[in-house]
Structure 1
Amino acid sequence: MRLLVMLTCLLAGCLAEKPHPCESPPLLTGALTVSTQNEKLWTYTRFMYDALGQRIRLMELGTYENKSFSHDVLALFREATMYEISYHNRTCKKKPLKTDFQPLAIPKDATLLGQAVLGSSSGPGQGLLVNTWTGDLPGKAGKYMNTVTEFGCIPIATSYQTSEFGWAVTSFFNNVIGIEDPGLLNPPDFCPDAEMMDSKVEPIDFLSLFHGKA
């Protein structure tokens, strides 16, 4: 009997499926922090993520170059447009968004670094099984490292190299699948008439959404 149990365990181990690159749920709401190696940027952000419509809303507080800021942005990638929103003044700044939409996903060419349990594996419900992946950024601009849950592909942390900040680390928490208020992924009623800012404005990349530099 013991031999049968041992053989069954060994067979289950052999047949266990290795982790594969995955894509996060297309609709997510949650919070995240962004911090950088050179301590130039830190933010706390509430986010809404819509991969179906390629829309992202970020409502953030943080510091950039030792100066505090608050920032509320709506990025509409299909329209190549970003709105910087001020409900207090009921105004919007409309800017060009010249970066492609990047879904929350593990690229197919990523390399698995390994699995780990966040918390404890001593008892049921005490830990969370996660997979960590690494690879090259587009154009060989540097390296990235992504950690997601084994079940559901929910983002946990992302690290990648940048020319301005060194390594930038994004940590996700309080993730909820779905969008509670889809209307927040549309421009407020006082925004549609906003004129696109002068084309001399620096094109906006993804990381600049977190500090309003562009």
Structure 2
Amino acid sequence: MKLFVVLSCLLAGCLAQRPHPCSSPPLLSGALSVSSQNEKLWVTARYLYDALGQRIRLDEFGSHDNKTFSLDVLLLYREATMYEIFHHNKTCKKMPLKADFQPLGIPKTASLLGQSVLGSSSGPGQGLLVNTWIGDLPDKQGKFMTTVTEFGCIPITTLYHTDQFGWMMTNFFNNVIGISDPSQLNPPDFCPETEDSTEEPADFLSLFLTMH
């Protein structure tokens, strides 16, 4: 009985601890959606995320200004290179990438907004404990608000502000720790070795605005 009481107290103490900033798993795959406050942009995508090699693969479908588009891109941040991949004719465009790699998770400078349960806390398996954080975007270009799971630091939602679209929301779902086929984070054999010198350097938002 005494052992049960001690274990219960230890468990209650762990759950009562204040959440801390965290890093998401370095290898993730799943799906995400992106939407804008002004309703001009929405995107759904399958994603592969490799924080160790600073690589991201996005296979997207979406709409911008009532025009639909599809896009398959590979972002190699260490090489400052992006590939737009066209499987139907086995071609690709190699372009410079000007964005810095931003790992998923919560930076140490963020502030805790609160902890909550998605769903219900009435019964086992009915809810998910999450933490919501706020902070400054890199170079203080704006604010962000991010929600991650309390256990595992799995991304749920990120909200940030842009001048062109207002608030942008990214929702993550069907997340899986690990990548089943790491070869998808390498450029296909038919991709060129040299960049197209006529292409402007791309960033994350330009994937949705200029490449369809």
CA distance in 2, matches of 1:93, 1:188: 11
* Closer/same/farther in 2, CA of residues 104 and 14 from structure 1, 3 Å limit: closer
Aligned equivalent of 1:53: 53
CA distance in 2: counterparts of 1:64 and 1:172, whole angstroms: 20
TM-score (structure 1 length as normaliser): 0.90
Answer yes or no: is 1:166 the counterpart of 2:163: no
What aligned pairs does 1:92-171 form with structure 2 within 5 A after superposition? 92-171=92-171
Query: What amino acid maps onto 2:112 in structure 1?
Result: L
Residue identity in the other structure for 1:137: L
Aligned residues: 206
Deviations 1:165-200 (A, max 9, x none): 11110000000000001110001110144x31225x
- Give identity over the alignment, percent: 72
Residues 71 and 211, structure 1, Cα contact 8 Å, conserved in 2: no
1:71 touches 1:212 (CA, 8 Å); kept in 2?
Answer: no
RMSD across aligned C-alpha pairs, in angstroms? Answer: 2.1
Q: TM-score with structure 2 length normalisation?
A: 0.91
The code of the aligned residue for 1:198 comes to S
Structure 1: runs of 5 or more not aligned: none
* Cα contact 2:95–2:200 (8 A) shared by 1: no
Task: Give the conservation status (yes or no) of the 8 Å contact 2:93–2:192.
Answer: no
Distance (whole Å) between structure 1 residues aligned to residue 111 and residue 92 of structure 2:
42
Measured in 2, the distance between the counterparts of 1:163 and 1:34 equals 16
Structure-to-structure mapping, 1:164-203, within 5 angstroms: 164-193=164-193, 195-198=194-197, 201-203=199-201
Distance 1:68 1:124, change over 3 A: same
